[in-house]
Structure 1
Amino acid sequence: MSTVAGRASRADAATPERRGVRLCRQWVRTGCAVGRGGSGGWLRFWALCVASAAVAVVALAAVATIATYDGRAARNQARGPVITERQRDAVGLWREGFDTVDKVPHSVVYLRPLKHGAQPPPGLTRWPAPGEVMLSPELVRAGRHEGITSRYGHYAGLIGRSGLVSPSERLAYVGPSHAPDPHERESWSYVRGFGQSYPMGDSLYTRPLAHALLALGALTGVPTLALLVVAARAGSPVPGRRGGPSPVPGGARPHRVAVRIGEAVRPTAVGTALAVPLMLAAMATDLRLPGTGYLLNGGDLRSAWPWMLATPALSFTVTLVAVAVVPRPERRGAVNGRRSPAGTVPRWRVAGCGLGLAAVAFSQYLVRAPGLCAFIGGTVVMWALLPSVATVASRALGAKLAAYGHRTGRPGRMIGGRWTVAHPGVAVRPFVALIIGLGLVCQLQIANSDVGEQAAAARATEARTGEGVLNVQSRDLRPPLIETLSRSLPAGSHVLGLTMDLDEQGALLQGSCRTLRLLGLGCPATPKAATGRDPRVTEIRDWYGPGLRVQAAPAELRLDRLRGSLLVISDGPAPRAEVERAAYALIPAVNVEALGETWLVGAGTKTRLNNWVLLFGSPGLAFLLLAGGFSAAAEFARVRHTLAPLAALTGSPTALRAAAGWHLAVPLLVSTVIAVAVTAWHAGSWPPCWGTGRTPGGYSPPHCAAAP
């Protein structure tokens, strides 16, 4: 008897807490019912569904980025050579060179074991034998058309995944065909193993993790937050509105929060679930990111599986918290469901936006720092004051539409125009989101495409001569090797020696009398100015300075080790593949490139950043447009009951649709056209002559000659 009484007393004591939990559940269920059948429920459902999917995708992208960088760092640490100065401790010789495929650079690592049974680098099952090469899968795929499998020697297999920082890395391990002689040994390093962080391969061109997260956050994360805020407010009933229904009559703030969460649970769950298949696909296999060509390592994501699995739940929670804390739209000063128009826009804002436009237009006539400051300053001022100008323009357009509708007896056009005057934000918000988002992406792309005058000159040279002149450069170019290389070149190839800035009198070009006469340079015994009119000589002179001199070479061609290189000139189509095979067979870490190719490789590396800008910026721009669209639709959903009697008053069932079209469709269409036009003009105003660098020989081609 006493036991039963004790249990009853404990149940009575827990009743308030249990009642609180049951009440909270009841409010959540009430919110679910409101979300299914309330005003604007369909709009709120889809807005929250899209916003929650966007939040989940961005959160997963951030976690995947961190996991990828961790995996890259671990593999780079494992494969890096441990350099030693003590030859007796060394297990092998190591030397790094560089080469390109399709103007994309990659590392070429030369290995030669010194001790039997020494462990090779990660990714290799054995050391490459003399004359063998092992390539990464991506390098084989990308360089097949350039004969990459035979460029450095006999192809002996692929590098394993453990030896690559990413599946898309381009890397080659080469076994030199002969042991380095004492003259070459100083260019090699002794290694006692592998397991130390070392910048090589893709690690040389990778931006820091902070830069990647900053780009993801600025270009994709911020638009996602804007979409989330709009979705949290879209389609929701206005609280406290006179005569309007309240889902929680007399309820406290926690009760209203519970109702909001109940409204958002179902669409948020659906949207979050939409991101899960993408996460599973990225973890199951290597995904190639669109536009960039980068292969995302699925193993890195699987190693971070606790974070990857927790991210959808975290993004689901964040979305619900945002719905709970974001205030509902209010009508301050509303009377009978109508809102008084906002105040007039100060004239100084319109004038300030005009000054920003003028600064952007004037910046193209300036160069270097003044032009950059004028362009950036004008852009910031223009974007900051653009909403005010857009508001003035939207109201002016609405007034003209209303006047025309009144004059022609079209009630839909008149009502739509008047609503545009009273609510200009419907068109202003999508317009500003579009022009700033599109403008930011375009400006970042243009900034990365501003490769300078040297790259422009290199492209022009490539268009004129192609690869008819190849530069072969190495510290190991000695007379015996030069003679052997000359004999191994394909028919129709001629070799010239080039020494840069000899005695500060200009570059010196040397070659046999036969080769010099073929180029129209005669056969001078002493150095004289190179005045030949052959197009190839003209290009050489443009790149290595107008002070280029020419001289007939002695019996044995000698080059300065640090400042000398060979020029291979072809009579017919450039046999670059044959020249590269001949050079790499004799000289490890040799560099073979066309005139100006260094600038093209650097410009290509910079330009490829545009692909990442597009990867991050395109979803961000789409989210901004969706936010503007949902905002406009929510605005009309809130006023549609006010406009409902329009059909009865006018006797036309199409009046409501006409008012919606003139209030939403026409202003949005006009704003889109204006946004595209302004963005195109803004992008075209980028100052064209900011480059200040010079060519390798110190000579700057005459680009932007009109600029001071």
Structure 2
Amino acid sequence: MTGSHPAQTRRPGRLWIQLLRVGLAAARTTPGTRLRSWALLAASAAMALTALAFATTTATYDGRTQRDTARGPIVTGSAHQATALWKEAIDSFGTTPHGVIYIEPLTPNSPPPPGLSHWPRPGEALLSPELARAAEDNDSLDRYGHYAGTINAQGLRSPSERMAYVRPAHPPADPAAESWQYITGFGQLFPMNQDIYPHTAVETNGVIAVLMAVPALALLVVATRVGSATRDRRSQLINALGASWAHRALINVGEAVVPAAAGTVVAVIPAALLLATDVRLPFTGYIIDTADTRRAWPELAGALAVSLVLTLVLVVILHRVQRSKTATRPSLSSSRLPKWRLALCVVGVLAIAFSQYAPKGPDIAIFLAGTVLMWATLPSVVAQLCIANGKRIAAGGYRKGDPGRLIAGRWTAAHPGVLVRLSVVFIIGIGLISHLQVWNSRLGDSAAAAQRITQRVGDTLYTVHSSTLTSGAVKNLSRNLPDGTHLLVATTHPEGDHPRIDLTGSCPDLESLRLPCPGTAQRVTSSDPRLEELARPYAGNLTVRAVNGDLPVSQTNGSLIVTTDEPGHRAEIEKAAYAAHPGINVDTPGETWVIGAQQKNNANNWLFLFGGSGLALLLVAGLISAAAEFVRIRAGLAPLSVLTGNYQVFRTIALWYLTVPLLIATALATFITNWHSLFFVISLREGRFSWPVLATAATGFSLAAVAIGLLAAHSARRAAPFWRPKAD
């Protein structure tokens, strides 16, 4: 037999090509193909962009670590072995902090830090490009000395980093007393100058997984199951003909490969942009270094390829065929829900509940894993509830002779997969909105109070402090301050039952604040808002004392007060302070709190970037799912106008079949989000949950549920007059 039919030996080798061609043909002829193709393209692009985000994050952090290691100082305790002096300080322009690195070479052959082609001359400063732009905007380009150029990319953690290398005009007389460190060179990992986004790669990938990967998977599930009834019948038919799982998989791959590949090609555009130039991310201001992405181009290409393969694998997995041991009649898999989804939802809930008892570190990972499991499987729980509710609706419609309720109830019980795809947008959407609010609430009451202080005082009072301040530095500062400014010494006594702050200065400087000029310490009260804010942390207790000659710097513990008669002198004051003493700090009351709050807001901007992307993906998934259901309802309900003789049945079916389950999903999502947000606050150890935000989100999604039902009914009613019987 084998010899008489040689063509049969070639058939198995060609079968997979034939099956792929069957899938390609089905993609062109199956009803609803256009909608499904666009949906798969969008889902594949979302998966590819998410994979690209993971790969870019890994490449970026690898590059950051390499540059951090290359520029880190190698500290030594021996002055004889040292080749340079090094000291770090923190400063800010507005509410954005930056690092200031003071350097002083000790040997002529000492190599400069990475990013510098040569050592700056005495009194010169080199700034990163981002810091140089900020300094120019604040009219402070010469704050640290003569501006001598910019630091190149090899010396920066990222192109968006703000930092400066400064060489003092005069070498320090006593480096140890002024907190300088002896170094032998550079090339050791040394944490310094935490910039816009100081979190680790693991934390960043965790945020991407929760806020982008889960919505992308939801979109893929919805896109795969668009118009699934026809494909499920086809799968049952070829299964009855003896096709194996691999045969069905090849047909499904052939049907989905073109739009899936097109979606991956769409993601090639941002990948090419990352490889071509530095990219500034929206909302965050962070700049991705193209050198990092170019170095990791194989990983970026691999991520796109893996996303395409994963998309096709999920397409195959989501087209399951239920085999029956007692019947040969094909049955649709959409009439049942896998029990393992409900079990995974329970596992996710338990992981969230017990994460608070886990050690610090693993608790975040357990919480995030439980969150992903719960939100991914909660739509199946909603569908299970709706199945039971659908049976009750059908029974009630049968008893009352209401065809609309009868049909809606039976549809609800028979098609839980549709309910899963529709409710996923509502459930995950409400959760995302509420959790973004909780994260954003971390600003805190103390930071808000600090903002009010800053607004009240303005830029007419500055605190100048350093732990190594000398009397000579105070004299230099006093000589270089601009006209209309006054210098005082502040000595604080926060301990005991009677805390107080003492101000010491010359009579003209005290009188400029409408204060007396006593020779001994005298307690005073003042209505000047600047003095009120100074004394507020000390129960309002303020004393003043006048001195002639030099200010008693030894009593200040490094704290000076500069006041101005008029605002607008900040740049001049800061320039004078940094020229007088390297590493000095100049800020207004409450400014440190405000800067800390702004740093948290910068982290929130990353959540808005990833969370906004996730919400956009969910919106696309909702639109696709609703559009697919409109098409199915329009075709399925149109004949009912002939059988019932009225169009009211369309609205009844649509509201009971679509609106009611979505309202159930909204109610359950609201309850679960309230519970989950409490654990989210515990996990963050800060922040507050807002009921108004949750109520607003729930109200918006409830209105959307009503709108979806009404639009579906309207679509069916418009199609009814054009319905004609077909031989199907």
The two structures have a TM-score, normalised by structure 1, of 0.79
Question: Which one of 153, 157, 161 corresponds to residue 153 of structure 2?
Answer: 161
- Displacement of 1:411 in angstroms is 9.2
Question: Which one of 258, 272, 290 corresponds to residue 266 of structure 1?
Answer: 258
SS in 2 for 1:201: coil
Name the count of aligned residue pairs. Answer: 650
1:437-496 residue CA offsets vs partner (Å, 9 max, x unmatched): 343344334334322332122111112111211011113322232222122212211111
Match of 1:355 in 2: none
- Displacement of 1:687 in angstroms is 13
Over 3 Å counting, the alpha-carbon distance change for 1:499 and 1:336 in structure 2 is: same
Match of 1:540 in 2: 534
Q: Does 1:443 align with 2:435?
A: yes
Over 3 Å counting, the alpha-carbon distance change for 1:431 and 1:94 in structure 2 is: same
Range with bigger deviation, 453-462 or 642-651: 642-651
Letter in structure 1 aligned against 2:438: I
Over 3 Å counting, the alpha-carbon distance change for 1:338 and 1:310 in structure 2 is: closer
Match of 1:132 in 2: 124
Question: Which one of 310, 320, 328 corresponds to residue 318 of structure 1?
Answer: 310
Match of 1:46 in 2: 38
For residues 25-174 of structure 1, the aligned pairs below 5 Å read 25-174=17-166
- Displacement of 1:232 in angstroms is 2.6
SS in 2 for 1:169: coil
Q: Does 1:608 align with 2:598?
A: no
Preserved contact between residue 427 and residue 667 of structure 1 (Cα < 8 Å): no
Question: Which one of 451, 457, 461 corresponds to residue 453 of structure 2?
Answer: 461
SS in 2 for 1:490: coil
Match of 1:531 in 2: 525
Over 3 Å counting, the alpha-carbon distance change for 1:247 and 1:340 in structure 2 is: closer
- Displacement of 1:316 in angstroms is 1.2
Match of 1:485 in 2: 477
Letter in structure 1 aligned against 2:292: D
Question: Which one of 270, 274, 286 corresponds to residue 278 of structure 1?
Answer: 270
Counterparts of 1:191 and 1:269, CA distance in 2: 54
Range with bigger deviation, 573-582 or 443-452: 443-452
Match of 2:712 in 1: none
- Displacement of 1:542 in angstroms is 1.5
Preserved contact between residue 196 and residue 602 of structure 2 (Cα < 8 Å): no
- Displacement of 1:620 in angstroms is 1.5
- Displacement of 1:264 in angstroms is 1.1
Counterparts of 1:687 and 1:214, CA distance in 2: 14
Question: Which one of 170, 184, 190 corresponds to residue 198 of structure 1?
Answer: 190
Match of 1:701 in 2: none
SS in 2 for 1:567: strand
Preserved contact between residue 39 and residue 236 of structure 1 (Cα < 8 Å): no
Preserved contact between residue 469 and residue 568 of structure 1 (Cα < 8 Å): yes
Q: Does 1:572 align with 2:588?
A: no
Counterparts of 1:190 and 1:691, CA distance in 2: 39
Letter in structure 2 aligned against 1:291: F
Q: CA RMSD in A?
A: 4.6
1:23-51 residue CA offsets vs partner (Å, 9 max, x unmatched): 11111111111122113322322222111
1:316-344 residue CA offsets vs partner (Å, 9 max, x unmatched): 111111112224487999x999999999x
Match of 1:357 in 2: none
Amino-acid identity (%): 42
Counterparts of 2:416 and 2:233, CA distance in 1: 22
Q: Does 1:475 align with 2:450?
A: no
Over 3 Å counting, the alpha-carbon distance change for 1:607 and 1:397 in structure 2 is: farther
Counterparts of 1:270 and 1:217, CA distance in 2: 23
1:616-660 residue CA offsets vs partner (Å, 9 max, x unmatched): 1112122233334434444555565543423554689x8998789
Counterparts of 1:37 and 1:687, CA distance in 2: 48
Match of 2:620 in 1: 626
Q: Does 1:288 align with 2:290?
A: no
Counterparts of 1:390 and 1:328, CA distance in 2: 18
1:585-639 residue CA offsets vs partner (Å, 9 max, x unmatched): 1110110000011111111111211111111111212223333443444455556
Letter in structure 2 aligned against 1:116: P
1:299-322 residue CA offsets vs partner (Å, 9 max, x unmatched): 111101111222222211111111
Letter in structure 1 aligned against 2:133: R
Counterparts of 1:593 and 1:659, CA distance in 2: 66
Counterparts of 1:217 and 1:225, CA distance in 2: 10
- Displacement of 1:661 in angstroms is 6.6
- Displacement of 1:386 in angstroms is 9.4
1:93-148 residue CA offsets vs partner (Å, 9 max, x unmatched): 11111111121111001111122232111111111111111111111223322123
Over 3 Å counting, the alpha-carbon distance change for 1:202 and 1:240 in structure 2 is: closer
Range with bigger deviation, 130-139 or 476-485: 476-485
Over 3 Å counting, the alpha-carbon distance change for 1:640 and 1:516 in structure 2 is: same
Preserved contact between residue 402 and residue 418 of structure 1 (Cα < 8 Å): no
Letter in structure 2 aligned against 1:233: R
Match of 1:585 in 2: 579
Match of 2:249 in 1: 257
Preserved contact between residue 233 and residue 332 of structure 2 (Cα < 8 Å): no
- Displacement of 1:199 in angstroms is 1.2
Range with bigger deviation, 636-645 or 569-578: 636-645
Counterparts of 2:317 and 2:673, CA distance in 1: 39
Over 3 Å counting, the alpha-carbon distance change for 1:168 and 1:18 in structure 2 is: farther
- Displacement of 1:664 in angstroms is 7.9
Letter in structure 2 aligned against 1:493: T
Letter in structure 2 aligned against 1:531: T
- Gaps of at least 5 residues in structure 1 are 1-8, 344-375, 694-708
Letter in structure 2 aligned against 1:539: E
Match of 2:703 in 1: none
Preserved contact between residue 494 and residue 538 of structure 2 (Cα < 8 Å): no
The two structures have a TM-score, normalised by structure 2, of 0.77
For residues 641-652 of structure 1, the aligned pairs below 5 Å read 641-646=635-640, 648-649=642-643
- Displacement of 1:397 in angstroms is 12
Over 3 Å counting, the alpha-carbon distance change for 1:106 and 1:394 in structure 2 is: farther
Counterparts of 1:310 and 1:590, CA distance in 2: 49
- Gaps of at least 5 residues in structure 2 are 338-367, 687-728
Over 3 Å counting, the alpha-carbon distance change for 1:501 and 1:17 in structure 2 is: farther
SS in 2 for 1:112: strand
SS in 2 for 1:608: helix
Q: Does 1:557 align with 2:551?
A: yes
Over 3 Å counting, the alpha-carbon distance change for 1:46 and 1:663 in structure 2 is: farther
Range with bigger deviation, 609-618 or 40-49: 40-49
- Displacement of 1:226 in angstroms is 2.2
Letter in structure 1 aligned against 2:578: Y
Preserved contact between residue 45 and residue 266 of structure 2 (Cα < 8 Å): yes
Letter in structure 2 aligned against 1:592: V
- Displacement of 1:234 in angstroms is 2.5
